[in-house]
Amino acid sequence: MYRSHNCGALRIDDIGKEVTLAGWMAVSREFGGLTFIDLRDRYGITQLVFDMEGSPDLCNQARALGREFVIQVHGIVSERSNKNPNRATGDIEILVTDLRILNESDVPPFTIENETDGGEELRMKYRYLDLRRQNVQEKLFFRSRLAIETRKYLAGNDFIEVETPFLIKSTPEGARDFVVPSRVHHGQFYALPQSPQTFKQLLMVSGFDKYFQIVKCFRDEDFRADRQPEFTQVDCEMSYVEQEDILNTFEGLTKHLFRELKGIDLPAFPRMTYDEAIAHYGSDKPDIRFGMLFCELNSVVQGHGFGVFDNAELVVGFCAKGQAINYSNKDIKKLTEWVQRPQIGAKGLVYVKYTADGIKSSVGKFYSDEQLKKWGSLMGAAEGDMLLILSGEAEKTRKQLGALRLEMGNRMGLMDPEDFKPLWVLDFPLLEWDEDSNRFHAMHHPFTSPKKSDIDRMLNGDHETMKALRADAYDLVLNGSEIGGGSIRIHDRELQEKNFKLLGFTEDEAKEQFGFLLDAFRYGAPPHGGIAFGFDRLCTLMQGSDSIREVIAFPKNNQGRDVMIDAPAGIDGEQLAELALKVVE
């Protein structure tokens, strides 16, 4: 038997017991004739004591132990004279009578403590040691409980968990596929699923009615901060449902998770249309922890001789409460440079400050105080407040102002990570016109159904009509991040064919890629719809972590590399030949 107790188990009531513990030597210190060791395992830390006077050999043995040696000790639980109230086992220590080294350890490349001296790169290279740190382990314990509670809720609501294959043919979710060459069928490739989308729809055709899966998805995208090429979804699908049924079921899941894991009872989630989200927040994933809603100013600012505003498609701003005093001319200049960075791309920034000494504005030359007051009253500004205004082409300007709103929210301390504000964004456009490729893209994916009221227009409308079609598509947004998204699906073969056509597939291409789905729709496909949650992101947000890498056991870095196992990597000539592949330099 390696141990009678773990390192987090013993309490004052255990005093006098003879116990055996095993774990890692975390810290050792000497004090007079005594040597103290912190013995660590997953469950906690227990203090060991060795007495030089009583048993010098044993004590010398203890002093020779290196950090992270794996040891087993036998001894008596005794009361500590100076207790540690910050530790669950802080009332006791083990008077060691026997010590055995189970394995030695090289000196670790960084300290295995909550506050470590290792940088991220080093910790990722030795992720297995990073994962030995208690605060890092806690992230994965949380993740495990989140998965368990997800399963509990869904199983309790009659969902069945079904595994779908990883070696498949492309499922379009808007990214590139990772492909796997076939050895047996030279020149042919599997694609790894970007999501189990088509399979879960087929499961509905099969009659499973309610499906879920906690599943890896793979998307070969250009690297963006905090994206992983493989990530986990809670993927769900239901039959005989309308949008409302899906929203209720998954609002229920989200509330359940917050209740069980955070002890938070979330009130009913607000809902907003896509158009409202864009108009008021400049984003389809608005952070509603704070206000600063957009106010469009065209009607009051245009026609007064300020060319920049007069020529703009849109002039739009928001009111930053109490900020007039915080922004000197120099600060405004810096903020202007901030919005002018290429990532944001605004041309300039107009401010209006309402101060005790009067109204100050970068466009004071063009507008009277009366006019500037009117802008303020439109935006609910009072003394001490500051308006920030951008202008230009409508879509771009809203996006830029959206970024500025978040920046200001952050600077003003309005984005408390423990303040959870979910909402549903509804009525997404069905199609998105892409100027570059001169074609429509599916805003969600090609299987998403237009709203019932838009089906006729979709079947018979002209090009402009198509741009205005709305879908039964919805996103669940939490604190400015999309944590879930889904739609009611097309279950009618003809409508699906029409959608493929709109998206630029020829009949043959549609058949070749999705013939199996179109065929399945011949055999009684029930009305159905679903959603998928980004499990890593949800887990990150719920824990207030900085990056999704923290909640993934073995994540890739921002370049998509696993620096521990050194992947991706080349393969040898023999393997290439077997796969009939050639590397072109």
485 binds ligand ASP (CB under 6 A): yes
Beta pairing class for 92-103 and 44-51: parallel
Choosing from 47, 201, 228, 487, the residue that interacts with ligand ASP (CB under 6 A) is: 487
Reference 231, options 557, 534, 573; nearest CA is 534
Out of 315, 466, 525, 532, the only residue in the binding site for ligand ASP (CB under 6 A) is: 532
- Assess 530 for contact with ligand ASP (CB under 6 A): yes
201 binds ligand ASP (CB under 6 A): no
Quick check: 531 binds ligand ASP (CB under 6 A)? yes
Using CB under 6 A as the criterion, what x/- string covers residues 123-162 for binding ligand ASP? ----------------------------------------
Span of 397-405, 485-493, 496-504, 567-575 interacting with ligand ASP by CB under 6 A: 485-493
Place of tokens 């017991």: 17
Q: Least CB distance from residue 359 to ligand ASP, whole Å?
A: 47
Contact call for residue 486 and ligand ASP (CB under 6 A): yes
Question: Does the footprint of ligand ASP cover residue 228 (CB under 6 A)?
Answer: no
Residue closer to ligand ASP by CB (options 142, 178) is 178
Verify binding: residue 229, ligand ASP, rule CB under 6 A. Answer: no
Under rule CB under 6 A, residue 488 binds ligand ASP: no
In the structure encoding, which two tokens stand for residue 482, read together? Answer: 């999309």
# of chain residues touching ligand ASP (CB under 6 A): 9
Before 286, cis peptide (omega within 30)?
A: no
Residue 390: CB minimum distance to ligand ASP, A: 31
Closer to ligand ASP by CB, 125 or 451: give it: 451
Minimum Å gap between C-beta 512 and ligand ASP is 21
Nearer Cβ to ligand ASP (133/444): 444
Only one of the segments 80-88, 284-292, 351-359, 527-535 lies at the binding site for ligand ASP (rule: CB under 6 A); that segment is 527-535
Closest CA relative to residue 526, chosen from 160, 159, 197, 202: 202
What's 457-490 look like in SS3? HHHHCCHHHHHCCEECEEEEEECCEEEEEEEEEC
Site membership for ligand ASP, residue 191 (CB under 6 A): no
| Cβ(193)–Cβ(227) below 8 Å | no
By C-beta, is 127 or 444 nearer to ligand ASP? Answer: 444
- Whether 233 and 535 have beta carbons less than 8 Å apart is answered as yes
34: enclosing H helix or E strand: strand 34-41
197 binds ligand ASP (CB under 6 A): yes
Helices (H), 234-273: 243-262
The secondary structure element, H or E, covering residue 155 is helix 134-156
Separation of alpha carbons 5 and 492, rounded Å: 61
Q: Cβ of residue 225: shortest distance to ligand ASP, in angstroms? A: 20
Is 282 or 530 the residue whose CB approaches ligand ASP more closely? 530
Rule CB under 6 A: is residue 173 a binding residue for ligand ASP? yes
**Measured between alpha carbons, how far apart are the two ends of the chain, in Å?**
57
DSSP secondary structure of 227-241: --SEEEEEEEEEES-
Q: Does 430 bind ligand ASP (CB under 6 A)?
A: no
- Please identify, using beta-carbon distances, which residue of 244 and 357 lies nearer to ligand ASP: 244
Count the Cβ atoms, other than its own, within 10 Å of residue 214: 16
CB 197 to ligand ASP: min, Å: 4
Residues 6 or more apart from 430 whose CB is under 8 A from it? 442, 443, 448, 450, 454, 458, 466, 469, 470, 471, 473
Please provide the size of the chain in residues: 585
**Piece of the chain touching ligand ASP by CB under 6 A; list 73-81, 305-313, 367-375, 526-534:** 526-534
Query: Residue 402 interacts with ligand ASP (CB under 6 A)?
Result: no
Instruction: Identify whether the C-beta of residue 7 lies closer than 8 Å to the C-beta of residue 44.
Output: yes
Per CB under 6 A, residues contacting ligand ASP are 173, 195, 197, 485-487, 530-532
